[in-house]
Structure 1
Amino acid sequence: MDAAEKYKLWDLEAAEEEANPKRTRLRICSLGLALIGFIFITVSIFREETLTFLKSQSSHGQLTKTGQVKVSFENVRNGTFAPVMKALQWINAPGSISDDKGLFLTNSDDGYEVRSVFDKDFSRTLWKGKSFVYKNANYSVDSLVASPNLEKLLIRTKTVSNWRHSSFGSYFVYSNSTGFQCIGDNLSLAEWSPNSLDIAYVHDNDLYLYSSEESKTVDRITQDGSSQVFNGKPDWVYEEEVMETDRTLWWSPKGDYLAFYKINETQVGEFVIPYYVQEPEDVYSKLKSIKYPKSGTPNPAATVVLYDLKKGKASQVELAASPDLLIETKWVGDRMLLVKSTDRSSDVLTVHLVDAEAKESKVVRKESSNGGWWEITHNTLHVPQDKSKGRASDGYLDVLPVNGFNHLVYFASADDAEPVILTRGAWEIEDGPFSFDQETNNVYFIAAKKASTQRHLYSVSLQNPEKIVDITDTSTSAVYSATFSSGGRFVLISYKGPDVPFQKIVDLKSDEQDVEKEGNIVGKTLYYLTKNEELRRNLASFAIPSKRVQELTLDDGVIANSFEILPNDFDPQKRDHYPVFFYAYGGPNSQQVLETFSVGFLEVVASQLNALVVVVDGRGTGFKGKEFRSLVRDQLGDYEARDQISAAALYASKPFVDADKISLFGWSYGGYLTLKTLERDAGAHFKYGVAVAPVTDWRFYDSVYTERYMHTPQQNIQGYVNSSVHNVTAIAQAKRFLLMHGTGDDNVHFQNSLKVLDMLDLNGIENYDVHVFPDSDHSIRYHNANTIVWDKILNWTKKAYLC
């Protein structure tokens, strides 16, 4: 499940968003939200009431009392409210630790160029244009990665997407001296060695070594790659739930060794997905089979393999404790490899240290989750040995729970069992990013220290633990993200709200400081990357619905983060007037209530439907500590539904709310939570519901995600029964509900919705609507589906509120 993606509610084209950190996002939800259906009570009633409603929506109906224009789908979809946010591709160039020039790669229509944030006159063109000719054939440049010494380029072309993160393509090496070298076609991936000479690549699930110096493949590292054995790249579940990327290979710091996973999914069950509208001339469906481990069924078997380049030999690493899941691998020295693993239910974390030269491993620590679970993270950061700086050994930074809250810790030696605690308190560090400055021993990190709905940039020194320095201005509410140059001197600070976003480059080691503070209170601003002044001007013409972040006190004394968006010209003196549109995601460790800037789908709902919009992060969600989130363990859908119902009751009691027009919408885990809430509520508060691509039975979802929160069905039979969507007669007590799903969903299989439809048929229930999107995956995009799904959510809800 994708917790975020990743997805942004306000971004109808769905993009990954830091508002849902990777570790918090339920991989079930892909990029985006969506819905399905059509509400029908009687055609004549709907027609008459819809016509009445539409008549009121004259040109004057799109203006507020102040004469400003209401937010609509049209101006959201054309990008009127989309801030410009740029990514800076920092380059880890030789010598950057001691002499950090802040080198980065720019990509424009003219090609690719290395520039410096410190020296504006520095420029080095790596590539001109967007295409090239090789053997009289034209190729477009899909991606380009420079070698670490910036002398050669690795170019991918003819890219074909596979799953969420993976693709296939043709790869070329280019340099001014040798011209083009073709590595091969239909490769899964290719990656430079730190030595700038070698390239590891995967073809047909086998791993190869290519020498750019010799212009040829010099070794076939593995021989057993097949449709069921993966070398150096993940299978479906490792890509989706564990690695969150397309590769499982890691070069050692000097390029002497290559570590990779061998994943064998022979024992994993297959799930077949039919595709119906791929080719107009085809009269038969196409079938795609995926090895997909469902809850309680065999997982793929993953092992660590080390390839010694000098010896030209690959050897499997025998880990001291046989793991069920390999969740993170990181070099913490020239020959030392750190490997994290868990049991299949993520109850116990085991950390192994592998000596690549001796081919030996040992367990350096083993930790229980103590009633919670271990999230899969990728934030371990190597801290190199430097005795002159007080670092006697190679160590690493990590995030671990401290008194029930996730905090930054430092293992001074890679084989230490106990860390130095760098931060502590009733707040949590985010999943990253952090940067380590090897010259100053400062660690930079993003945390929800001021408030769980905010993110600020801080630093702490290895020599002075728990003395935290604010880098961004914590006197005002804000959400920031940051990326750092390779030496840690320069930082791209991205302000994401609640006001109009901006981005700036800051020199953290400047002798000067900013006179006027905006964003950062440490360092000197070199320049702004984006200011979004045009967006600010555009906003003046529109009536942006007011948004307020708040805390709600729910039943059982639960204090939950929430925000509400008020419709234009809101009048609290009206009685029984305003509908309430709840949006929910609610997956374990996720977060939707974040003080970011957004004008999108929820604002469209508030403006066009004259409705209050409410989002509540109930129990189970992240950044409020272990006790708040781990309560849902082994019983998904229970406490989450209770909190949505409690919030609905609270709003129903407000005099200006029409208690007969309260609806709930969710996608992926949110779709599941919508159905579970309707089931528990039985029409008492939520009168309408819209569920898109929902899980309906956790036995149907993948083992890696599900068992982290539910254990296996064999261990928790009653929990799986209770957590499934099973009481459809209770759901039917709502006035009407809508169900939508893509038939090509490889993540949350269409099987989930079909199971519920079958139960509805068996129970003679008819007060629902369905829309199926042929061949669309979890993001529902195929053949214009993404436009349709959002239109249906809005229009279906509009008709529901007219009843």
Structure 2
Amino acid sequence: MKHLKLSFWICVFISSITIAQIKEITLEDIWKNRTFATEYMDALHSMSNGQQYSVLDFDRATRSTSIDIYDYKTLKKVKTLVSSANLDAIQYFSDYTFSKDESMVLLATNEESIYRRSSLGNYYVYNVKTKALNAVADYKIQEPTFSPNGKFLAYGHENNLFYKNLETGEVFQITTDGKKNEIINGITDWVYEEEFSFVRAFDWNADSNKIAFIRFDETEVPEFSMDVYGETLYPDQQEFKYPKAGEANSKVSLHVYNLNDKNVSNIEVDKTYNDFYIPRIKWTNEADILSAQYMNRHQNELDLWMINTDKNTSNLVLAETDKAYIDVTFNLTFLKDNSFIWTSEKDGYNHIYHYGKTGKLINQVTKGNWEVTDYYGYDEKEKVIFYQSVENGSINRDVYSIKLNGRNKKRLTKSEGTNNASFSADFSYFINTFSSATTPPEYSLNSASSGNLIKSIKDNDILAQKLSEYKTSEKEFSTIHVNGNDLNMWMIKPANFDENKQYPLFMYQYSGPGSQQVANRWNRADDYWYQMLAQKGYIIACVDGRGTGFKGANFKKVTQNELGKYEVEDQIAAAKQLGELPYIDASRIGIWGWSFGGFMSSNCLFKGNDVFKMAIAVAPVTSWRFYDTIYTERYMTTPQENPSGYDENSPINHVDKLKGDFLLVHGTADDNVHAQNAMRLTEALIQANKQFDWAMYPDKNHGIYGGNTRLHLYNKMTSFIDENLGDKIKDEKPEEIKTKSNIKR
């Protein structure tokens, strides 16, 4: 009887495994139930003692948040520094920032987004020793920042700059001319935030007695307006300054506020600029010396200035030029002697350089036909730089150390995939985040000197086990030789793939300058959608064409002045080659993309009408004339200078070529790529008498999300793919087996 019972449970177990292994991914799994969400470490901060770190934890039982301190060596929680469960004034906090001496913590709550990176919030200062909690202000503010001595806190409010004396509680207003859609002090305008990727345009000096800030005069910038429909009888209208290509930018100026005499001084540099940007400011270790980067409108000249704010004198220490453009980074580090570390593409690849305080080159620290992809910091004691690069293949990322003199380079990470490090304050440890196409994110403690694993912190084994119950396919990496270049590619085939059958091909790409979609990392949400499509019998492929990143400046910048020409040529040529494979039905090839990728998929369908049967374009740019100055002119100069570059690759001007099936999607409240793009393309299609499908998502921004929005969008796109590519998968063998292929495995 026992044997019979045991056999029964073995059968049940085997049966459950069999059933589990054939579970299919659904859109609800991806976009509603968050079935495949990963565990992660939130708001990781290394404590100044170098032996501990803090993270933001959420207690589901009490619905409270806390800052918990952990020991690097043991990985055990040492203490809870502060919990919202013990704070009467705050139900929860969503972020935190320490003062330099870590005696105080700034807690953020009730945050609301403004644009992509900016937000408003209520902020409180928590005193670690006394456990006192004080509101910074009784109104929402932007970018509150401790002074280095921890006595003051500066912030932006209604386009003006303020600071608070944390000892007395007194608030001082630095500027008074701030006005919506006219003057902004210390906070970036829309286009700086979006394209130079920063919001806080002010900085404290080392002695905590000066604040440098950028002032934006938006008066002459054209205004853009969007209807926000909401639920009221009449829509609201959002109006903001948005400089489209060739139009007026904000006039920027640099200023310094002195806390001692309460005066604001204008800062001038010893060069006349007609139309320029100030994309970065940063104080040096000398309390009176401010660094500022000035860039011409074409963005192919970048000047680094050292400004003596006491004497109002300036010294140009570095002047870089490029035939195409220069990417602005945050990779400027001042050493104790005020020499500095800088990254540049000037030898054709992004590398690390060491300059003296006057701008004299000391040495190029890293060299080779590969790119430095991140700069982590400098260990003054050991004279070692830590960085991330693609030395181990452009689809991989590894962490390295190297001496300041360029010697004794070490690869610190061992696993092939994507590695990213967070170093302890004294550079004795780093927490490595690793993932690959087959391994979900793993967090581990490693030695900074050797890279050796000390302990595992967190993994996603539960997710990996859960995913093993579903029908999934391997993401196969390869290269495809197109237009004289070996392009990185990944492909996903159905789990029951049969090389004697023919399958429809659905291609994805983004293709924007310096971007990368073919990377050896763990799944994003769309990857699960691709797995779902593979279950249905589609082959999914992604190709990074010319113009994408991490393969050198020449490969990236070949698209200069002609965005959408070479990139489209590569996608069309890649689709043709893939269509020659015996298991791909060349009559059923589709393509899709979002934003720049939507611009691309539209052009691919129109210009490649003999190759692509269908395309989906989500939130696409349809003419670069509609997009902002900084991004567009970096790659295209102005439309006044380069009208053919703008118009010859605009999808609007190629609608007459449309033969296949086209789905156009946009959010009506997209502040980035305006719905104007979709409307103008729609009108062109109508006047060309071309039939197409489209969907507008009310009050949704460039991300098109919120509630069931993503679920609805992906249901719509899936149905469109099924209707236009998903005819019954052919069972017959191809009449002629095609062997010619330029794909390298």
For normalisation by structure 1, the TM-score amounts to 0.83
Paired position in structure 2 for 1:11? none
- SS in structure 1 of the partner of residue 531 of structure 2: helix
Unaligned 5+ runs, structure 2: 1-16, 60-64, 728-745
* Aligned with residue 261 of structure 1, among 214, 218, 228: 214
- Inter-partner Cα distance in structure 1 for 2:463 and 2:706: 30
* AA at the equivalent of 2:331: N
Paired position in structure 2 for 1:528? 456
Superposition pairs of residues 40-51 of structure 1, within 5 angstroms: none
Paired position in structure 2 for 1:657? 584
* Aligned with residue 152 of structure 1, among 83, 95, 104: 104
Superposition pairs of residues 302-317 of structure 1, within 5 angstroms: 302-317=252-267
Paired position in structure 2 for 1:634? 561
Post-superposition shift, 1:129? 2.5
Deviates more, 1:417-426 or 1:199-208: 417-426
2:358 counterpart of 1:415 = yes
**Cα-to-partner distance string for 1:744-780 (whole Å, 9 max, x where unaligned):** 00000000011111111111111x1011101110000
**Cα-to-partner distance string for 1:20-64 (whole Å, 9 max, x where unaligned):** xxxxxxxxxxxxxxxxxxxxxxxxxxxxxxxxxxxxxxxxxxx99
Deviates more, 1:737-746 or 1:180-189: 180-189
Q: Which structure carries more relative contact order (alpha carbon 8 Å, separation 6+)?
A: 1
Superposition pairs of residues 193-272 of structure 1, within 5 angstroms: 193-217=147-171, 219-227=172-180, 228-242=182-196, 244-272=197-225
Equivalent residues of 2:655, 2:684 under 8 A apart: no
Equivalent residues of 1:545, 1:603 under 8 A apart: no
2:446 counterpart of 1:506 = yes
Post-superposition shift, 1:467? 4.2
Post-superposition shift, 1:531? 2.0
Equivalent residues of 1:568, 1:606 under 8 A apart: no
2:424 counterpart of 1:424 = no
Superposition pairs of residues 49-60 of structure 1, within 5 angstroms: none
Paired position in structure 2 for 1:84? 39
Equivalent residues of 1:171, 1:183 under 8 A apart: yes
- SS in structure 1 of the partner of residue 720 of structure 2: helix
Superposition pairs of residues 590-605 of structure 1, within 5 angstroms: 590-598=515-523, 600-605=527-532
Post-superposition shift, 1:569? 0.7
**Cα-to-partner distance string for 1:303-345 (whole Å, 9 max, x where unaligned):** 2212223333221210223451111222231332221121112
Superposition pairs of residues 297-376 of structure 1, within 5 angstroms: 297-323=247-273, 324-335=276-287, 336-369=289-322, 371-376=323-328
Relative to 1, partners in 2 of residues 1:452 and 1:233: Cα closer, same or farther, differing over 3 Å?
same
* Aligned with residue 786 of structure 1, among 705, 710, 715: 710
Paired position in structure 1 for 2:736? none
- SS in structure 2 of the partner of residue 293 of structure 1: coil
Relative to 1, partners in 2 of residues 1:127 and 1:102: Cα closer, same or farther, differing over 3 Å?
closer
Paired position in structure 2 for 1:756? 681
Paired position in structure 2 for 1:188? 142
* AA at the equivalent of 1:266: T
**Cα-to-partner distance string for 1:627-669 (whole Å, 9 max, x where unaligned):** 1111100001000000000011001111211111100000000
Deviates more, 1:645-654 or 1:181-190: 181-190
Paired position in structure 1 for 2:508? 583
* Aligned with residue 497 of structure 1, among 427, 436, 448: 436
**Cα-to-partner distance string for 1:124-165 (whole Å, 9 max, x where unaligned):** 54322257435xxx6543433332223223233332221111
* Aligned with residue 111 of structure 1, among 66, 69, 72: 66
* AA at the equivalent of 1:472: T
- SS in structure 2 of the partner of residue 245 of structure 1: coil
- SS in structure 2 of the partner of residue 226 of structure 1: coil
Relative to 1, partners in 2 of residues 1:657 and 1:125: Cα closer, same or farther, differing over 3 Å?
closer
Relative to 1, partners in 2 of residues 1:170 and 1:86: Cα closer, same or farther, differing over 3 Å?
closer
Paired position in structure 2 for 1:562? 489
**Cα-to-partner distance string for 1:377-411 (whole Å, 9 max, x where unaligned):** 22212222xxxxxxxx2122111124311111111
Paired position in structure 2 for 1:478? 417
* AA at the equivalent of 1:116: D
- Inter-partner Cα distance in structure 2 for 1:675 and 1:662: 14
Relative to 1, partners in 2 of residues 1:84 and 1:178: Cα closer, same or farther, differing over 3 Å?
closer
Equivalent residues of 2:27, 2:714 under 8 A apart: no
2:543 counterpart of 1:616 = yes
- Inter-partner Cα distance in structure 1 for 2:291 and 2:249: 22
**Cα-to-partner distance string for 1:543-594 (whole Å, 9 max, x where unaligned):** 3212111110013x121111111111111122xx200000010001101010
Amino-acid identity (%): 28
- Inter-partner Cα distance in structure 2 for 1:785 and 1:122: 39
Paired position in structure 2 for 1:444? 386
Deviates more, 1:644-653 or 1:596-605: 596-605
Relative to 1, partners in 2 of residues 1:183 and 1:70: Cα closer, same or farther, differing over 3 Å?
closer
For normalisation by structure 2, the TM-score amounts to 0.89
Post-superposition shift, 1:729? 4.0
- Inter-partner Cα distance in structure 1 for 2:73 and 2:722: 53
Unaligned 5+ runs, structure 1: 1-62, 385-392, 510-521
Relative to 1, partners in 2 of residues 1:470 and 1:68: Cα closer, same or farther, differing over 3 Å?
same
* AA at the equivalent of 2:376: F
Aligned length: 696
Equivalent residues of 2:244, 2:629 under 8 A apart: yes
- Inter-partner Cα distance in structure 1 for 2:195 and 2:218: 15
Post-superposition shift, 1:608? 3.3
- SS in structure 2 of the partner of residue 788 of structure 1: helix
Relative to 1, partners in 2 of residues 1:216 and 1:485: Cα closer, same or farther, differing over 3 Å?
same
- Inter-partner Cα distance in structure 1 for 2:353 and 2:719: 50
Paired position in structure 1 for 2:481? 553
Relative to 1, partners in 2 of residues 1:524 and 1:644: Cα closer, same or farther, differing over 3 Å?
closer
Deviates more, 1:124-133 or 1:670-679: 124-133
Post-superposition shift, 1:434? 1.5
- SS in structure 2 of the partner of residue 186 of structure 1: coil
- Inter-partner Cα distance in structure 2 for 1:374 and 1:697: 23
- Inter-partner Cα distance in structure 2 for 1:106 and 1:635: 45
Relative to 1, partners in 2 of residues 1:524 and 1:732: Cα closer, same or farther, differing over 3 Å?
closer
2:609 counterpart of 1:692 = no
* AA at the equivalent of 1:690: I
* AA at the equivalent of 1:445: Y
* AA at the equivalent of 2:447: D
Relative to 1, partners in 2 of residues 1:668 and 1:720: Cα closer, same or farther, differing over 3 Å?
same
Equivalent residues of 1:579, 1:662 under 8 A apart: yes
Relative to 1, partners in 2 of residues 1:760 and 1:120: Cα closer, same or farther, differing over 3 Å?
closer
- SS in structure 1 of the partner of residue 413 of structure 2: coil
Paired position in structure 2 for 1:25? none
Paired position in structure 2 for 1:55? none
Equivalent residues of 1:746, 1:777 under 8 A apart: yes
* AA at the equivalent of 1:552: I
Relative to 1, partners in 2 of residues 1:472 and 1:157: Cα closer, same or farther, differing over 3 Å?
closer
Paired position in structure 2 for 1:469? 410
Equivalent residues of 1:88, 1:492 under 8 A apart: no
Paired position in structure 1 for 2:11? none
- SS in structure 1 of the partner of residue 344 of structure 2: strand
- SS in structure 1 of the partner of residue 136 of structure 2: strand
